[in-house]
């Protein structure tokens, strides 16, 4: 049977692999040789699932959104990752990776962050496990996501503001990789999305796959069948989407819709819509679609959403798009903002700006009335309130 999943060499079709400097070879090789054995061990499974249950608060609810369903003419369920401890799906992955780091004998943790949700998740698990933590964050993001910066500091992490490039996620990741190259022996790099050299994309997808495992059980209870007609999620690097689709990836009854950040529009030059605008290249240790100019220089991405402001995309998602297994839409800033106000005023749920890019696909869909749709709300919007309130009185954005 055809599978869309990773092959034994760490590729999804032509995307993925490990393109790393010599100095990191041993660290990446050690991870590659150990991750599956550790993840599948009884010990790991027990500790991981106990923490997901008692600490994160899983399973996260699958909520039937009645008013939104009426509006869009389908049966819309929201997978509520916004209700997790620390406010997003990132904590699932951070817990898994810190357990892995401990089992591999690493003493120091580094992480990169965009919106700050992965930084907060990493800082949280480091407090929990008593490990030193340094988080790299672009200086632009330090400003636009200051609440998360304060949270990381409170948790005892060192937040390192990065001033290169346009001072966002790409630049923070460059700096984290530089740190890793200087301390390859004792440092574990907790990557926050399905990106980076193999085995990270597969590792992160597996740790986030708890999302679709729960969706299966919850749909069976609520709908009497364990699969939806549609799965919808936003994609930055692709981890919440990977978790949402993991157990359905080869089930062709389920249509996959992914929302990437259009910024000011895919023709505007100010966009982070990598699948629409990218060409094949190498970034941060893996081969994928990359936004680049004619000389192959990575171009600066733009999105109102710090968590989606990245010029690459996970290799899984590049593959799903190329094979037309998934439909990818570019959702612009204004469409995402409108969707955030709509969910807030229709269901009383303030989504993260990132998640609003998944919601922003709804007005472009054509459903049948009994279609079962599951849309993942990857995080909550507390961190984005300053941005939202700027648009509250703009009738183009908030018609409520």
323 a catalytic residue:
no
Nearest residue to 191 (alpha-carbon basis) of 53, 314, 366: 314
Query: Which candidate in 60, 81, 90, 354 is catalytic?
Result: 90
> Is 94:121 a contact under the CB 8 Å cutoff?
yes
Among 196, 197, 301, 307, binds ligand PLP (CB under 6 A): 307
Three-state secondary structure of the chain: CCCCCCCCCCEECCEECCCCCHHHHHHHHHHHHHHHHHHHCHHHHHHHHHHHHHHHCCCCCEEECHHHHHHHCCEEEEEEHHHCHHHECHHHHHHHHHHHHHHCCCCEEEEEECCCHHHHHHHHHHHHHCCCEEEEEEHHHHHHCHHHHHHHHHCCCEEEEECCCCCCHHHHHHHHHHHHHHCCCCEEECCCCCCCCCCHHHHHHHHHCHHHHHHHHHHHHHHCCCCCCEEEEECCCCHHHHHHHHHHCCCCCCEEEEEEEEECCCCCCCCCCHHHHCEEEEECCEEEEECECCCCCECCCCCCCHHHCCCCCCHHHHHHHHCCCEEEEEEEHHHHHHHHHHHHHHHCCCECHHHHHHHCCHHHCCCCCCCEEEEEECEECHHHHHHHHHCCCCCCCCCC
Alpha carbon distance 144, 167 (integer Å): 11
Q: Does 201 bind ligand PLP (CB under 6 A)?
A: no
Contact characters 70-89, ligand PLP, x per CB under 6 A: ------------------x-
Which residue's Cβ lies closest to ligand PLP? 379
Q: Does 350 bind ligand PLP (CB under 6 A)?
A: no
Q: Which stretch binds ligand PLP (CB under 6 A): 49-57, 237-245, 296-304, 366-374?
A: 237-245
Q: Does 96 bind ligand PLP (CB under 6 A)?
A: no
Among 90, 170, 198, 319, binds ligand PLP (CB under 6 A): 90
14 a catalytic residue:
no
Nearer of residues 31 and 359 to ligand PLP, judged by Cβ: 359
268 a catalytic residue:
no
Q: How far is the CB of 54 from ligand PLP (least distance, A)?
A: 22
Q: Does 93 bind ligand PLP (CB under 6 A)?
A: no
C-alpha distances out from residue 271 to 208, 235, 263, 279, 292, Å: 27, 14, 4, 14, 12
Q: Which stretch binds ligand PLP (CB under 6 A): 7-15, 33-41, 177-185, 350-358?
A: 350-358
Q: Does 381 bind ligand PLP (CB under 6 A)?
A: no
Nearer of residues 75 and 136 to ligand PLP, judged by Cβ: 136
* Contact set for ligand PLP, span 102-121 (CB under 6 A): 115, 117-118
Q: How far is the CB of 353 from ligand PLP (least distance, A)?
A: 8
Q: Does 329 bind ligand PLP (CB under 6 A)?
A: no
Contact characters 174-193, ligand PLP, x per CB under 6 A: -------------------x
Among 16, 119, 199, 237, binds ligand PLP (CB under 6 A): 237
Q: Does 196 bind ligand PLP (CB under 6 A)?
A: no
Nearer of residues 136 and 371 to ligand PLP, judged by Cβ: 136
Q: Does 387 bind ligand PLP (CB under 6 A)?
A: no
Among 236, 263, 285, 301, binds ligand PLP (CB under 6 A): 236
Nearer of residues 236 and 371 to ligand PLP, judged by Cβ: 236
Strands 230-234, 372-377: pairing kind: parallel
Q: Is the dihedral of CA 263, 264, 270, 273 positive or negative?
A: positive
Q: Does 352 bind ligand PLP (CB under 6 A)?
A: yes
Q: Does 261 bind ligand PLP (CB under 6 A)?
A: no
Nearer of residues 109 and 242 to ligand PLP, judged by Cβ: 242
Q: Does 312 bind ligand PLP (CB under 6 A)?
A: no
Query: Which candidate in 112, 260, 335, 354 is catalytic?
Result: 112
Nearest residue to 133 (alpha-carbon basis) of 147, 145, 119: 119
Q: How far is the CB of 239 from ligand PLP (least distance, A)?
A: 3
Q: How far is the CB of 112 from ligand PLP (least distance, A)?
A: 11
**Catalytic center residues:** 90, 112, 378
């Amino acid at each position: 049977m055809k599978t869309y999943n990773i092959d034994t060499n760490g590729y999804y079709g032509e995307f993925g692999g490990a393109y790393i400097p010599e100095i990191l070879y041993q660290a990446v090789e050690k991870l590659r040789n150990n991750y599956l054995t550790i993840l599948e061990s009884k010990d790991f499974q027990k500790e991981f699932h106990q923490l997901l249950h008692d600490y994160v608060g899983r399973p996260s609810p699958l909520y039937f959104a009645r008013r939104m369903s009426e509006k869009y003419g389908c049966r819309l369920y929201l997978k509520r990752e916004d209700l997790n401890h620390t406010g997003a799906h990132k904590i699932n992955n951070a817990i898994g990776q810190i357990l892995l780091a401990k089992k591999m004998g690493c003493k120091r943790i580094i992480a990169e962050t965009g919106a700050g949700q992965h930084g907060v998740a990493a800082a949280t698990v480091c407090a929990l496990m008593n490990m030193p933590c340094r988080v790299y964050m672009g200086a632009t993001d330090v400003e636009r996501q200051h609440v998360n910066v304060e949270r990381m500091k409170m948790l005892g992490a060192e937040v390192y503001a990065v001033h290169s490039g346009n001072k966002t996620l790409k630049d923070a990741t460059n700096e984290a990789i530089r740190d890793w190259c200087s301390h390859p022996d004792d440092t574990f790099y907790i990557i926050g999305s399905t990106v980076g050299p193999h085995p990270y994309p597969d590792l992160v997808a597996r740790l986030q796959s708890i999302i679709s495992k729960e969706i299966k059980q919850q749909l069976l209870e609520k709908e009497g069948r364990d699969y939806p007609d549609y799965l919808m999620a936003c994609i930055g690097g692709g981890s919440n989407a990977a978790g949402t689709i993991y157990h359905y990836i080869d089930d062709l009854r389920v249509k996959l819709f992914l929302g990437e950040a259009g910024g000011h529009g895919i023709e505007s030059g100010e966009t982070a819509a990598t699948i629409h605008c990218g060409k094949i290249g190498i970034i941060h240790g893996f081969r994928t679609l990359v936004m680049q100019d004619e000389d192959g220089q990575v171009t600066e991405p733009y999105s109102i959403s710090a968590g989606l402001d990245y010029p690459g995309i996970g290799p899984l998602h590049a593959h799903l798009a190329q094979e037309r297994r998934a439909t990818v839409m570019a959702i612009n800033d204004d469409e995402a903002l409108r969707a955030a106000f709509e969910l807030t005023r229709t269901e009383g749920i303030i989504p993260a700006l990132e998640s609003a890019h998944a919601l922003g696909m709804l007005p472009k869909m054509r459903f049948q009335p009994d279609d079962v749709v599951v849309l993942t709300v990857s995080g909550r919007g507390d961190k984005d309130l300053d941005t939202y309130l700027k648009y509250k009185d703009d009738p183009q954005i908030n018609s409520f």
